[in-house]
Amino acid sequence: MATLNTKFKLNTGSEIPAVGFGTWQDKDAQEDAVLEALKAGYRHIDTARIYGTEPAVGKAIKESGVPRRDLFITTKLWNNSFHPDDVEPAIDASLEDLGLDYLDLYLMHWPSPFARGGELMPKDSNGKMKTGDTNYVETYKAMEKVLKAGKTKAIGISNFSRAELERLLKETTVVPAVHQLELHPWLQQKDFVEFNKSKGIHITQYSPFGNQNEVYDSGKNMGKLIEDPTLTEIGKKYGKNGAQVALAWGIAQGHSVIPKSKTPARIRANLEGDFKLEPADLQKINSVDKQLRFNDPSGSFGWDFYTDLDGKKK
């Protein structure tokens, strides 16, 4: 299969495969999809507590027979487990569901706390989210402890603003190994990307196909990013489609990308998005930035996200 199998070095010294397999949504299809991905050659799998897909990922890993040392497994701490006393039980529960002794990467999914307890989305009688009072700095310090205990080889963050990240860096000890955020040719966030890199933080791009995901209402009354004429035109030159070009653009920036699919042919095609684009083509893609952000749950999470970043709707 034509894939470069690119890897990037994290600030821990470990390597992260450039193309990962995302497991958000389609919970019941994930065991087969992850198994298909592992058979196709993926070695980086991305899940999260809130996805409900950790057990399926665990089963697929076991069934695949791929040695644990060859895999890079990421999961994420959910907002209801922000209290420092809840972080270790949360990672233990994830490890148990995944059938693993350790994670390669444990991310704080959002900087926003929900009320403590077993409910993932705790709401009051009016259907409004019950927020928590633990600050993400305290949560991260508890994550530093599970890192020290060997339960994960790296820790990181997801969906932070610049101000939130600056505060985290100032008040904690371990620089995040990874920042996972929405990033694609229509939301390139060059300044923020540079800021993360200047601190030694690797970027993983989620939703690398932008508004391909039906869950994003704001992306519906427009064309699809993966059909952007600039991407499809460039793709013809390499025998690739717009989706593969979007992935190659991300990898060319030094980022890992985590496309998701449950279709075997598409699962394999996404892995082939790891190819080299010529500088002139990268320049063309750099010019299609529309500062379009599709994932912003500020209204429902009780927290104002991305206040100082591109694509924030005023």
Strand, coil or helix: 277: coil
Distance CA 300, CA 298 (A): 6
So what's the pLDDT on residue 221? 73
Residues tagged active-site: 51
Choice between 284 and 217, residue whose per-residue pLDDT is larger? 284
Q: What is the pLDDT of residues 71-100, one digit of tens each?
A: 999 999 999 999 999 999 999 999 999 999
CB 139 within 8 A of CB 84: yes
Confidence (pTM): 0.97
Quickly state the pLDDT bin for 25 (edges 50, 70, 90): confident
Distance CA 285, CA 181 (A): 19
Distance CA 181, CA 108 (A): 12
Q: What is the pLDDT of residues 100-134, one digit of tens each?
A: 999 999 999 999 999 999 999 999 999 999 999 99
Q: How far is CA 47 from CA 79, 234, 304, in A?
A: 15, 31, 24
So what's the pLDDT on residue 222? 86
pLDDT greater than 60 at residue 41: yes
pLDDT greater than 80 at residue 210: yes
Distance CA 169, CA 164 (A): 9
So what's the pLDDT on residue 214? 65
